[in-house]
Amino acid sequence: MAVDATYDSIGIGYSRFRQPDPRVEAQILAPLGGARRVLNVGAGSGSYEPTDRVVVAVEPSERMIEQRPSTASRIVVRAVAGDLPFEDDTFDAAMALMTVHHWPDIWAGLAEVRRVTSGPVVVFHYDTAVHAQQWLVTDYLPSMVELDAGVPSPAAVAEALGGGEVTVVPVPHDCHDGFCHAFWRRPEAYLDPTVRASISGIARSPARVVDEAMARLADDLASGRWQRRHADLLTAEEIDAGYRLVVAPTTKPPSRS
């Protein structure tokens, strides 16, 4: 089994900046219901793992595993989503949080997660079309859209898992979790290279492209152009930046031929 360890190179600073936001956390954990044994695939540094039940984390990157705090599950298996080393229906529920778009074979990964889970599967994902409309992308890093080639829609993820509900995960203006669009009302945060290092879409972009984009952002902030262009955001409490929660039921989907 080949283990893709992309985050061994780009997973720097995740434990510092990718802290759970309590509002997002409540939305993610609620669908787990009474599940006692939970699988967390692409678990990273352990954000949003429930502490009141048994969690088995699957993560290919040693760098990410090393950053797991003491509050995260100590049961960690180094593996990939497309080849899970568990028997059918081993888990009562499963989580896959901001990870599906990194899987080498997304469909195989989703099929495996469904295979080993008897109950609900909760996937924190994003709508690429809405993501592409956010100011960080449209104004400064349009090349990030190219990274989304082949990323399925939330509806397609739900279908692959046997159907389910897709809901919006709003991003509050003071979001604690430093994912890509968390700083939509705090643009100066993107000027910090340590913040950017924990955002995979930026970390995977060419350094020259990012440096040029951040120089323009710094200039726009200093001149007031950013503030004038996005005056509507300065008083907004939350926005829809494209983040979606897919909650799939217990129904097993038909095999993909």
What are the tens digits of pLDDT across the range 99-135? 999 999 999 999 999 999 999 999 999 999 999 999 9
Predicted structure pTM score: 0.90
Amino acid at residue number 159? E
- What is the pLDDT at residue 66? 85
d(CA 43, CA 23): 19
Question: What would the mean pLDDT of 239-249 be, rounded to a whole number?
Answer: 97
Query: What is the Cα–Cα distance from 53 to 252, expressed in whole angstroms?
Result: 24
Residues 16-32 have pLDDT tens digits of: 667 899 999 999 999 99
**Confidence band of 142 (pLDDT split at 50, 70, 90):** very high
pLDDT at 177: 95
**Residue 4 pLDDT level (bands cut at 50, 70, 90):** very low
Q: Above pLDDT 70, what percent of the chain?
A: 91
Q: So what's the pLDDT on residue 3?
A: 42
Domains present along the chain, CATH in parentheses: 8-248 (3.40.50.150)
34, pLDDT greater than 60: yes
Can you give the pLDDT at residue 255?
58
